[in-house]
Structure 1
Amino acid sequence: MTIYILEDEKNILKHIMALVSDIPYLQVVGYSADVAKAVTEIPQLQPELILADIQLKDGNSFSLFNKINVESSQIIFITAYDQYAIQALNLGAFAYLLKPIETNIFNETVDRCFKKTEEHKFNRQQLELSSNYYKGDTRPRKIALKNFKFTQIVPIEDILYCKSDKGYTTFLLKDGSSVLVSKILKDYEPLLPTDTFIRCHQSYLVNGNYISKYFKDGYLEMLTGDKVPVSDRKRDIVQEFIERL
């Protein structure tokens, strides 16, 4: 997450920089002690998060944010004055922290902001992909699988099955490769067509086009030879699904 810092007290700026450096997903792209510099830099840099003091040397950050477009940025105000809280929230700020900054509160607030930003990006990305339809069909053609290193765009027809474990989901693809993403299976299930994919187990979502055999004692065999469990309560549903293929 890219971040811009507005702070005119050197010691506090140094402290904020130290807090930010301990959070691996944050990247400082700029900082300023005055409105005159920030009014030019923020629109150019388009940071995802702005940490802003309210009272600056040449004005206040409220006047700054009324001059520039910050709709694509989250704002966390950090100030010694609590009388501005309502004004900050009316501006659409994500949070309002008082000085001196408590490390735990700072970390928790930034983490919530990061998760909200990532969720928004994920939903927007999936929506864009879902708008790429088959001709005459409303099914999405591709899905974006994102982890901390990259985002891989995968044709839905190439997914053999998905396996969820401890908050992560692994997508097994027909070329033998796999993609691990840091989201649960439930987040992806609505994005995959129900006439093709079946939730056969709490931890598995399977592409019916790659099912080779269904064993009534509780598992599926894929064309690759992989065996996927079928939970007891899903057996009738899986049987009906297979009969429709």
Structure 2
Amino acid sequence: MTVYILEDETNIQKHIIALVAQIPYLQLIGYAADIVKAEKEIPQLKPDLILSDIQLKDDTCFNLFNRIDISAMQVLFITAYDQYAIQALNLGACGYLLKPLDTELFNETIDRCFRKTEQHKFNQYQLEIAATHYRGNARPRRIALKSAAFTQVINIEDIVYCSSDKGYTTFWLKDGTSILVSKVLKEYESVLPPDTFLRCHQSFLVNGHFVNKFFKDGYLEMTTGAQIPVSERKKDSVASFLERM
């Protein structure tokens, strides 16, 4: 699997090069510290995998990836801890690793890229969602959900509630359909608008706009007819939340 590295911090770039060199099935075919060089080389070299920082000195990788065709490539973002960047990547269902890089986690993630070539590919809709949110401080309107078979982009306002079970999250939509994704509920709690979505139970996150009734014995009735449990310790916060809606 051929690899291209886009990273403008010299020490981190050298560290990534060293990590790549330790994995026998990886072949480093190029690296850049700026967008200008990467924009020339990536279309020519056509790497299987791009390891990319988000914010480079001369531009963001999002803008670069909008200008070149990377549809046949995998991208793994490598970013410093930045709540806004992480939120953007999660909204776009994009794979990422945090700096400083952990060697074991890096190796595991690269192995997943090698074995599951679709996992870190993303379509134009995913890129647009992540890029728009990263650039504009905008209220998120859409989210990309990656299931085992496909990636679906949905309107956030169409989510009635989310439920979790054993490391999986199911999104229940207003048209009666559902989407199962292999991420925990907490990840989505951190990216969905907090003035609209409320964690009412360890296993449930609800959209307040679809709440029909709140029963004092501990459950919510949604406009779809679904009944959602409310944990004892969440009753007061649920009541306060609904009063503000």
The TM-score, its normalising length taken from structure 2, stands at: 0.54
Whether contact under 8 Å (1:196, 1:207) holds in the other structure is yes
| Percent identity of paired positions between Structure 1 and Structure 2 | 45
Query: 2:130 matched to 1:143?
Result: no
Does 199-208 or 109-118 show the bigger shift? 109-118
Does the alignment pair 1:163 with 2:166?
A: no
Counterpart position of 2:202: 202
- Structure with the greater relative contact order (CA < 8 A, sep ≥ 6): 1 or 2? 2
CA distances 1:89-131 after superposition (whole Å, capped 9, x unpaired):
xxx9986xxxxxxxxx9xx87533356996897x977632535
Measured in 2, the distance between the counterparts of 1:130 and 1:206 equals 22
73 and 43 in structure 1: CA distance in 2 versus 1, 3 angstrom threshold: farther
Counterpart of 2:109 in structure 1 is 112
- Greater gyration radius: 1
d(CA) in 1 for partners of 2:195, 2:150: 29
Partner Cα separation in structure 2 for residue 171 and residue 125 of structure 1: 21
Matched, 1:180 2:180: yes
Q: How many residues align?
A: 164
The answer (yes or no) to whether the contact 2:220–2:227 under 8 Å persists in 1 is yes
Q: Is the 8 A contact 2:167 2:184 kept in 1?
A: yes
* Kept in 2: contact 1:47–1:73 (CA 8 A): no
1:35 match: none
**Retained in 2: the 8 A contact 1:94–1:113?**
no
* Aligned residues: CA RMSD: 4.4
Contact in 2 for aligned 1:132/1:140 (Cα 8 Å): no
- With over 3 angstroms needed to count, the CA separation of the structure-2 counterparts of 1:93 and 1:227, relative to structure 1, is closer
Structure 2 partner of 1:153? 153
Asked whether the equivalents of residues 126 and 143 of structure 1 are also in contact (C-alpha less than 8 Å), the reply is: yes
Q: Distance in 2 between matches of 1:214 and 1:73?
A: 43
Q: What's the offset of the Cα at 1:189?
A: 1.1
Q: Indicate the residue corresponding to 2:45 in structure 1.
A: 44
User: Structure 1, residues 60-116: CA drift from partner, whole Å, max 9, x if none?
Assistant: xxxxxxxxxxxx679xxxxxxxxxxxxxxxxx9986xxxxxxxxx9xx875333569
Q: Unpaired runs of 5+ in structure 2?
A: 4-23, 28-40, 52-74, 78-99
Report how far residue 46 of structure 1 moved.
1.6
Contact 1:129 1:144 in 2 (8 A): no
Q: Distance in 2 between matches of 1:73 and 1:140?
A: 22
User: 2:131 is aligned with what amino acid?
Assistant: E
Residues 144-178 of structure 1: CA deviation (Å, up to 9, x unaligned): 11123211111000000001111110000001111
User: Does the CA-based 8 Å contact 2:132-2:138 persist in structure 1?
Assistant: no
**CA gap 1:189/1:109 in 2 versus in 1, 3 angstroms:** closer
Classify the secondary structure of the residue corresponding to 2:153: strand
- TM normalised by structure 1 equals 0.54
